[in-house]
Amino acid sequence: MLLQYKAAHSASSLRQFTFTLLLRMALEILIVTGIALLSMVAIHYIRWMQEDKKLPPGPLRLPLLGNLLQVPALRPYPKFREWAQEYGPIFSLRLGPQTVVVLNSAEAAHEILDNRARAYSSRALPHVAHDLVSDGQQLVFMPYDEQWKEDAATSVHHIKDKRSAFCPGARVASRPLRPLEPWGAQLFTRIQGCRRAGPRNTLILYYSSLHDKRGNAGNIWQPSGTIYQQPTPIYNVLASFAATAQPGNYLADAFPFLRKFPDILVPWRIAGRKMHEWYA
């Protein structure tokens, strides 16, 4: 009996010692991890403070997030106007690790983007809008490089020659859309039926013809003289596409490590791919 008691007591002491040792190791790991994280935050904050001295003035930033939580996702420009009144027509923001300089006057935009175009014409690429929705092919999201210059020259050539944008084949392909009522939900079904021009080109042709020949800034004039409201489906598509590039809408634009997460954790990737399938 005495031997059994000693054996049981020894086993219990061993389990208790093992538990205490594991608990102590876990606490040490947590302490080391916490110190490492605090050190990283401190290093980044000090670096940001040093970089901020070289930037235009701007609102106070939070560590890591910067001004990400201060910029409204849907209507950022009223907030930009408010900051412009406080910090001037040129001010800076931090959206996560990205630095953003906001130009809030025509004079500032002309000076920076025109007179100093070589130094300031490029931009940070919005991941969702550039990589997913437009597959790196949209001119407005591309970086300022030789490919952008080539594509821009081609676009300017087609804009100057209006006939090249409305070639006979595209006109014929888009003809079924012309009598379509602008508010009808059948718009997208009819667009998909115009296979020769493709849904993207047909939509652009229909939208442009409405505004060039029958409309002005929101109303559409039919040959009978009746005024109809703007084609809501078209504007919804354009608004959705524009919203993908707004700063602060997607954390993946500011934090690249989020782009490596699986699809089940990042629904914006699935939505971006679906938009690309329709828009392509």
- Predicted confidence (pLDDT) per residue in 186-216, tens digit: 555 555 555 444 444 444 444 444 444 444 4
User: How many CB atoms neighbour CB 185 within 10 A?
Assistant: 9
pLDDT > 70? residue 259: yes
CA distance 108 to 110: 5
Tokens at 88, concatenated: 């001037």
The region that residue 135 occupies, defined by phi over 0 for left and psi between -120 and 50 for alpha, beta otherwise, is left
Q: What is the pLDDT of residue 264?
A: 82
Ordered by start, the domain boundaries in the chain are: 1-54, 56-121, 146-279
| pLDDT (tens digit per residue) in 102-138 | 888 888 888 888 888 777 877 777 878 878 887 777 7
Note if the pTM is more than 0.75.
Answer: no
Across the chain, mean pLDDT equals 70
CA distance 70 to 68: 6
CA distance 241 to 235: 10
266 — pLDDT class (breaks 50, 70, 90): confident
CA distance 203 to 233: 11
Q: What is the pLDDT of residue 215?
A: 41
